[in-house]
Amino acid sequence: MSHVKGSNLLNRHAFVKEKFDPDAWDRVLASLADNDARLLSPRILASSWYPFDLYNRLDLAMCQVLAGGDLELCRTLGVDSARRALSGTYRLYLKDGAEAILRRLAVLHRSFYDSGSMDVTYLGPGQCAIRTVYVPRSTLTNCLVAEGFYRTVVEMCGGLEVQVSEGNCSAHGARFCLFNVRWEDTVTTHPPA
């Protein structure tokens, strides 16, 4: 069984508390199976490991309860996760630019997921491919979160016209997820005068 770090779940909790009414988190928990709700209450420990399936069920429950079933909320969760990560511990990475921080994500992935892998291939200025293996496989919600996360990381590094597309998806039977990320690099295309 695959696991995610509790800090991922704490980001979800913080997002709900900040963006929705005071009872929203309780409604999300109430929509989950009792076993899942017990793992998320009374508190989530940042350094503990939680089942990857629970993480995905939580995202799906949030979409159902808070967005009327609209999975687009997952991209918003990715945006929020990137902003939280890059305004906290990892904000120093922003100065290195989009390519460098995306490459670092492959190493950081191991800190937040206890299985699977990630690698980033630089394809040229303003372009890379991110290959992620989830065990046993990803879910649609997880991939939508990733799209929002990658886009926001590049934007926070100054990238413009950011496009993220998923070519392969393990949620649909592929062996791995493959995200193509393209952007206009303000550092190389618009040098200072």
**Rounded-to-integer distance, Cα 26 and Cα 21, Å:** 10
69 and 158 together in one domain: no
Furthest C-alpha separation in the chain: 60
Using an 8 Å Cβ cutoff, are 1 and 55 in contact? no
Q: Quick one: pLDDT at residue 149?
A: 96
Take residue 25 and report the two structure tokens written for it: 């988190």
Q: Quick one: pLDDT at residue 2?
A: 94
| Radius of gyration, CA atoms only, the chain | 17
Q: Tell me if 117 is assigned to some domain.
A: yes
62 and 104 together in one domain: no
- Give me the average pLDDT of each 10-residue run along the chain (193 residues): 94 97 97 97 95 97 98 98 88 86 89 93 95 93 97 95 97 97 74 41
Q: Quick one: pLDDT at residue 153?
A: 95
Q: Quick one: pLDDT at residue 193?
A: 42
Q: Indicate the pTM of the whole model.
A: 0.91
Q: Quick one: pLDDT at residue 158?
A: 92
Among 136, 130, 117, residue whose Cα is nearest residue 167: 130
**Rounded-to-integer distance, Cα 170 and Cα 91, Å:** 30
173 and 130 together in one domain: yes
Give the H or E element holding residue 30: helix 24-31
Q: Tell me if 82 is assigned to some domain.
A: no
Q: Quick one: pLDDT at residue 92?
A: 82
Q: Quick one: pLDDT at residue 181?
A: 98
108 and 167 together in one domain: yes
The DSSP letter of residue 178 is: E
Full residue range of the structural domain in which residue 67 is found: 3-75
Domain count, the chain: 2
Q: Quick one: pLDDT at residue 188?
A: 52
Q: Quick one: pLDDT at residue 61?
A: 98
**Rounded-to-integer distance, Cα 15 and Cα 77, Å:** 8
